[in-house]
Structure 1
Amino acid sequence: MKVFSSREFNQDVSAAKRFARLEPVFVTDRGKPTHVLMSFDAFRRMSGERDSVVDLLAMPGLPDPEPERAKDWDRREPL
């Protein structure tokens, strides 16, 4: 567990973020813990949040499949 005073945290937020990738970082104010900084993945694990089927199927980072065919779909003949 890494502890940063409020002053240390304000002076070097990027260092706190680097430590938070590995373990929770406690931020203190006048010697008492006031905040906890952790990675988003650690937060999701702690909260029990899981990817939904929609999230898994979205596959972020991939281009839209065949955008030209999507345009054709919009121009289809009415029934």
Structure 2
Amino acid sequence: MTITTLSSREFNQDTSRAKKAAQKGPVFITDRGKPAHVLLSIEEYRRLTGKGRSIVDMLAMRPGEGDFEFDPPRVVIAVKPVDFS
């Protein structure tokens, strides 16, 4: 893993360089010499956060591209009787 550091100015002037560097590791973006932001590839972000694909990503897949299980939690709704007298 390669760690890259860019100033805000460098990032703004050469965004494609930052995106390419993010494929190899995190890119730290500094403001006035202090780290302010980190650019990660989406794969690395998902690995770090433990998040898989979103429901939107899964629904956008074409049939047969991948299988996933959808088992929503059961919801119990309490109903109180109403007195209309």
> TM-score range with shorter-chain normalisation?
0.5 to 0.7
RMSD: 2.7
Q: What are the ranges of 5 or more consecutive residues in structure 1 without an aligned counterpart?
A: 63-79
Whichever structure has more helix as a proportion of its residues is 1
Count of residues in correspondence between the two structures: 62
| Residue pairs, 1:34-45, within 5 angstroms | 34-45=36-47
Q: Distance in 2 between matches of 1:23 and 1:60?
A: 30
Normalised by the size of structure 2, how large is the TM-score? 0.61
Partner residue of 2:71? none
Deviation at 1:49, TM superposition (A): 1.0
Q: Distance in 2 between matches of 1:61 and 1:2?
A: 39
| Residue pairs, 1:1-79, within 5 angstroms | 1-51=3-53, 59-60=61-62
Amino acid at match of 1:26: F
Amino acid at match of 1:2: T
Deviation at 1:9, TM superposition (A): 0.4
Structure 1 residue runs of 4 or more that deviate by more than 6 Å after TM superposition: 55-58
Q: Distance in 2 between matches of 1:29 and 1:14?
A: 19
Deviation at 1:50, TM superposition (A): 2.4
User: Structure 2 vs 1, CA of residues 11 and 57 (structure 1 numbering), >3 Å: closer, same or farther?
Assistant: closer
